[in-house]
Structure 1
Amino acid sequence: MKLALFDLDNTLLSGDSDFEWAQFLISRGVLDREVHEAENLKFYEQYKDGTLDIHAFLDFQLAPLARHTRTELDAWHVQFMAERILPMICDKARQLVQHHADEGALIAIVTATNSFITAPICREFGIPHLIATIPAELGGQFTGKVEGIPSFKEGKIVRVESWLKSLGHDWHSFSSSYFYSDSHNDLPLLHKVSHPVAVDPDDTLRATALAAGWPVISLRS
């Protein structure tokens, strides 16, 4: 059996769902544009240059979830999927996922973006497993805090290994393992699998991939 892991933002998607969710809320007037747009851009730039404090970012990103009912959030997410996410899903991404599914691989999305944002996207791709940062809940309401270890950098390895263990597997259970990512933030997990693949990579990942002889592909239409 094979293992196929996919980063989400700027990998399977031709954009960043985390960033776009905040921009979507700003566009609806749920978040104040003057206050939140600059912060959203700042955190996104920090992510790209590898200096992101994940806990500071999660305090920013998860706080709006705690201010609204799940009914409101779910209704907004339906519109968010239609307006922002579906246009970012290219046919090549769907075809790559289907290729691994046809091979009978165990497939998961592994993303730092929280599971409220990403679970419907995971379902859209028909991927059965999601390893994402988990927003804490209490009584059916988000608290604005994170539960457990964020699925970010080395945390992705911790979360993947915990998930594999829950299924009765480890890395040795698979004849080959794949991880597809665009970001140098994912180098820890890329080095862990037997088949790392750089997808529309940032400059740092591209240089690393070329030096190591990893495949470099594009999923953009």
Structure 2
Amino acid sequence: MNLTLFDLDGTLIPNDSDHAFGAFMVDIGWADGEQWRARNDDFFAQYQAGRLDLAEYIAFATSVWRSRPLAEALAARERFMAEVMLPQIQAQARALVERHQQAGDLVAIVTATNEFVTEPIAAAFGVEHLLAVQLQRDAQGGYTGAIEGVPSYQAGKITRVQQWLAGLGRQWEEFERVNFYSDSMNDLPLLDLVSHPVATNPTPALADIASARGWTTLKLFA
């Protein structure tokens, strides 16, 4: 059996779901207009540069919805999926995931975006296993704005994959082949570890590394 891992943002979808959800919060009037949008853009630029303080970003990004009743937040997420995300899920990305599933691979999405935003996206792809940034919840089930456990960001993705496999009673070494599809320099630790890294819609910096190291490059989106 093979193990196939997918990054999400920029890899299976052409945009960044975390950044897009923040912009959607502005669009529906939950966030404070241009000032909030500008800060959201700044955090996104930090992520692209590989210097994001993830804990600071999570506290910021969740602040706009976690104080609201959960039913309201879930309804907003449903609108976000229908209006923003589903149109971004393209046939060629679905086909790539399905090809690995039909081959009998163990498939997971491993993303630095939080679980609240990404759970319905993974479901739309038909992927059972989602390793996303986990959000801490209080005794009443409310979101606190903090991260629970190891975040699936940069080298943390390796830890989360290992923890997930251990929970399934599996080990990395038992797979004949381990594929990882990613567009981002933030994912170099995991790309370096797997047997078959695939630079997917890569940033220019990752494209250069993929070329130098002889990695497969895949362009899903025009």
Say yes or no: does 1:104 pair with 2:101.
no
Amino acid at match of 1:198: A
Quote the Cα distance in structure 2 between the aligned partners of 1:193 and 1:62: 32
The superposition leaves residues 182-208 of structure 1 with CA deviations (integer Å, 9 ceiling, x where unpaired) of 000000001111000001101111111
Question: Which residue in 2 is equivalent to 1:81?
Answer: 81
Quote the Cα distance in structure 1 between the aligned partners of 2:66 and 2:30: 13
Question: Which residue in 1 is equivalent to 2:170?
Answer: 169
Report the CA distance between 1:34 and its aligned residue: 2.8
Question: Which residue in 2 is equivalent to 1:95?
Answer: 95
Quote the Cα distance in structure 1 between the aligned partners of 2:118 and 2:190: 19
Quote the Cα distance in structure 2 between the aligned partners of 1:156 and 1:62: 21
Question: Which residue in 2 is equivalent to 1:63?
Answer: 63
Quote the Cα distance in structure 1 between the aligned partners of 2:74 and 2:66: 13
The superposition leaves residues 33-85 of structure 1 with CA deviations (integer Å, 9 ceiling, x where unpaired) of 13211110001111111121212211211222321111001101111001110
Say yes or no: does 1:185 pair with 2:186.
yes
Work out whether residues 55 and 146 of structure 2, in 8 Å CA contact, stay in contact via their aligned partners in 1: no
Report the CA distance between 1:218 and its aligned residue: 1.2
Question: Which residue in 1 is equivalent to 2:200?
Answer: 199
Extract structure 1 runs of 4+ deviating beyond 3 A. Answer: none
Quote the Cα distance in structure 1 between the aligned partners of 2:164 and 2:176: 18
RMSD: 1.0
Amino acid at match of 1:170: Q
Report the CA distance between 1:2 and its aligned residue: 0.5
Report the CA distance between 1:146 and its aligned residue: 1.1
Amino acid at match of 2:103: E
Per the normalisation by structure 1, the TM-score is 0.97
Question: Which residue in 2 is equivalent to 1:42?
Answer: 42
Question: Which residue in 2 is equivalent to 1:32?
Answer: 32
Amino acid at match of 1:176: R
Quote the Cα distance in structure 2 between the aligned partners of 1:74 and 1:197: 34
Quote the Cα distance in structure 2 between the aligned partners of 1:65 and 1:192: 36
Quote the Cα distance in structure 2 between the aligned partners of 1:93 and 1:24: 23
Amino acid at match of 1:207: D
Q: Secondary structure at the match of 1:197?
A: strand
The superposition leaves residues 152-197 of structure 1 with CA deviations (integer Å, 9 ceiling, x where unpaired) of 0000001000000111111112000000000000000011110000
Question: Which residue in 1 is equivalent to 2:10?
Answer: 10
